[in-house]
Amino acid sequence: MSSLRAYFDQRAPNWDANQPPDRDEHLRALLAPFAGDLAAARAILEIGTGTGALIPALAERAPAARLVSVDLAHAMLLHARARQPAAWLVEADVHRLPFAAGRAFDLAICHNSFPHFADRQAALAELRRVLRPGGGLLILHNLGRERVNAIHSAASGPIAHDWLPPGDELARLLAATGWRDVQVDDTPERYTARAVRA
């Protein structure tokens, strides 16, 4: 078992108790700027769902879409299942997704998960592979980069160096890995990126 998976498995039982009480409001606000992408999508892939916190907000914005939520950590998915009995949950690694190429999804969303991807270039290539041409990618964090990186630095174990890059660096990486119309919003309050599969 990877040390990253073990790390999140160990934290799954207390994950929700350690989140702020107004998290649902924050998640809805985080999705609001992307309402058009969500409403237009027929199939959405969420990577790193954890305990499934984003699923209700995604379902509100995209009620007709098929939503598939992936996570590496089995224990996280057990909590997601308890929270969302009807959700489509898949245990998988973003670097090796068990989906066919090209037509499966209209939109991929990485919410608070991108910094943990061991090989970002390979992960972005794999997300491209499963999106239809013209499909969208959202990388979303409801905290600013410095706070995210400080939280990870302060954590012991395998996430200590899982940092979000500066916005211009992420924009260059996306452009270099086959994404167009790249927009990165790297502010003290939040960090979001939107790109389209070229």
| Residues near ligand SAM (CB under 6 A) | 4, 8, 47-50, 53, 70-73, 76, 93-95, 111-113, 116-117
Alpha-helix runs per DSSP H in the chain: 3-15, 23-31, 35-40, 55-61, 74-83, 120-130, 145-154, 167-176
Which residue, 78 or 134, is less far from ligand SAM as judged by CB? 78
Q: Which residue is nearest to ligand SAM (CB)?
A: 50
Which residue, 83 or 132, is less far from ligand SAM as judged by CB? 83
- C-alpha distances in angstroms, 122 versus 94, 129, 164, 174, 183? 9, 10, 16, 11, 20
Compute the least distance from the CB of residue 60 to ligand SAM, in Å.
17
Give CA torsion, residues 123, 188, 155, 13, to 10 deg. Answer: -80
Which residue, 2 or 183, is less far from ligand SAM as judged by CB? 2
Compute the least distance from the CB of residue 112 to ligand SAM, in Å.
4
Which residue, 98 or 166, is less far from ligand SAM as judged by CB? 98
- Residue 51, helix vs strand vs coil: coil
In one-letter notation, the amino acid at residue 23 is: R
Compute the least distance from the CB of residue 154 to ligand SAM, in Å.
14
